[in-house]
Structure 1
Amino acid sequence: MSISMKAEIKNIEQLEAENAELRAKLRDATAIVDSIRDGSVDALVVKDSDGNPKVFAIESADYTYRILIEKFTEGALSITEKGLILYANSYFGSLMEKPGGIPGMHIRDFLATPGDWETIQENIRSGILRMEILLKAESRTIPVEMSFTDLHPTVPAIGVVVIDLTEKKMREESLLDYQGQLTSKIHELHTTNTDLEQVIHVISHDLKEPLRKILTYTNQLQEYSQTVFSETDQKWISIVNKSAVRLNSLLDDVVKYAFTGQRVKDQVVNLNVVIDEVLEDLEISIGESNFKVTAPELPKLLASDVQLRQLFANLFSNAIKYRREEDPAITISSSRTFLDEIPYICVTLSDNGIGMRTEDLRQIFTVFKRLHNRDEYSGNGIGLAICKKIMDNHGGRIEVSSEVGVGTKFNLYFPADLIV
């Protein structure tokens, strides 16, 4: 074979190789063009003459999608597995105080702590796709939450959503500050309660002891007053005795009110049993007034037995005290209801007594508030305040409605979760 023929054969083989190489490049180019057309490519990374990667962002045909990403109030990125940023929306640029030139940078350029990129890579490999991290902007450090989505195999990239946590962290710091203040206030309140307990101890023991002596001696003086003292002396002794009785009653009520605020251990309480026992205690008053009580089967509650006895004793005593002359009665009922979409069991006590004016209803639960003179009706104005405190202790409410000459209705709302 001649030399010229061998050269010609070599040229043909070279041309075929070059042709195959061109076909391969054409296939790659066609694939890139197809990817650009269907919007699956955000950017092209091309090495320059020095071998450095250059990123060219592509404006996809899916214009609506890109507008949506740009309108996000959160940062949005797409990065390569090695951390090269292919795309960043305008919010991320604004957050980093760098409105342009972010594509082509490395995500590491924005991480405030060295080694965070390696931590991110390890987390992604471990399936931890959300983490809090610090980013460094031009003038400040920003706490953010970064969420990662592996877009493989559809797109060889990682999607990143960046949420600014600055306001959240500020709220958390404020909350911690408030918690510290609350802890301090609780400590102060505990100290105050301790002081109040000491005052109550003084009232219930130290003050009542001399008062008992006054009552004892004035009672003895009254027994002999008719034969020993003048009418004026007898009147003065009677005034002292009545004042001492009222003071003793007032001290008892103050102590009851103070200790009502202490929530005792809950137990299963049968309301029918409580009411029967309270009515038994008030048997003499009920008998003297011919008072009629009607009570159906009532629920059992997880509550304070002692406080519920006090609650119903106060309400029954009021109904008896402010009764009408003819056929005085009180009717008890219960029903399930909702207040502000919260379920309650409502126990209602309705009497046919003298009633109250509407303008007086707002103040009847105030301590020491009386609607009548002591000459008309006895009492210290604490009973209903105690009732309200008991209902507060059980997470409930007490409401009242009344009409002069018709009667009064008390609604006791117990949370439904107290029902046994």
Structure 2
Amino acid sequence: MERKEFEYSLIKPMEYWKRKSREDIESLLGAETAAMAGFDQRNPHHCYDLFEHSLRTVENLSPDSPVSLRAAAFFHDVGKPTAAREKEGRLVFYGHAGTSARMAWRILERLGYFCEERQEICFYIAHHDDFISYAMPEEGSGREKPHLRLVNQENIAAYLAKFENEIAEWTVSPAGEIWENLFQLCCADISAQAEIVYKNGRVVNSRRKKLEKITRIRELARKYDSPPGARDEAEKSPGKKEKRKSYLAYGSNLNIAQMRERCPGAEIMGTAVLKDYRLLARRGPSGAYLSIEEEEGAAVPAAVWSVGPEDEKALDEYEGFPKLYYKKELSVPIRERESGMVRECRVFMYIMYREYPYGIPADAYVEDCLQGYRDFGLDEAVLLEALAFCRAADGNYGKDRR
């Protein structure tokens, strides 16, 4: 399975995956994921089989949640079949969060996720179950429950501080944003569990109580302004070096004036030729825009920009990621603008999903793209040929073209 198809499946996971057999799932994502299908959790906290629970967890996330969080929700319990142990006539899953994170790392690597993306996703997976060991003040802790910590400002601050350096190693996003995502995953996970938890015929917990606990922990985390707050300020300081990526543009983001306005922190690196790809246009809900698709022997001229995290967020919004376009990463030779030297560079780019038919872009959009070609001295004939092809193929999907 390709990454773009996997991310597409996370938009409406129940609709996409519930119709798949275990064999289908294995062929797409491997035996580790297929093991979740039909797996009876046999635990009073759960009312769905493992795979349905995971799909419902994804569905419970907010519609605008990042794709990293949706991927984490999908794989957050993938290690349960491996970690499962019998205890008093039921299954327990001690350590399953860590097991799930390790297994998900390998699956995500096969799907083509960058290392930093895998680190973020697997952080959410590894820690989605951490707050089971916390109790609300009215529930008590201490000698009668020595394994539990009270939900209070001191304990939550200590918990957040413990992971601050780890988070700083793989993201420049504010720490508060990472924690908000984790709390959202916790709530989505709980919302896909049993409404009432019974043990030996008596009620011992409920979905409502679990959600109230996470809500309280989230409130305390928002008040925490030591290491996370200090780090957020450090990110803004002049001496802080931000993590940047190389972005390959082949359409309207070639237009230097528009790119400067859209992504003020972007810097021109140079030009490139994307081999074995063809330039074309596909028609989405709001109009037709340039995209590319693989075709042996074809080539697409492009520019490469260095972008920071805020620039990438602006690009995501402009490109309609992840619903209209998905991201792909590969290595290409780039010719540096200043030195003229050619070197290999790892870049990311946006590609429109193949479910959208070929279409004809608006004249104003085409002119923006042509100006970009002129800005970088690229061969305009490639763009004109792509437009001619799309006029002839308007309305066709081209899913079988190679």
TM-score, normalised with respect to structure 1: 0.19
Greater Rg over alpha carbons, structure:
1
> More relative contact order in 1 or in 2 (CA 8 Å, sep 6+)?
2
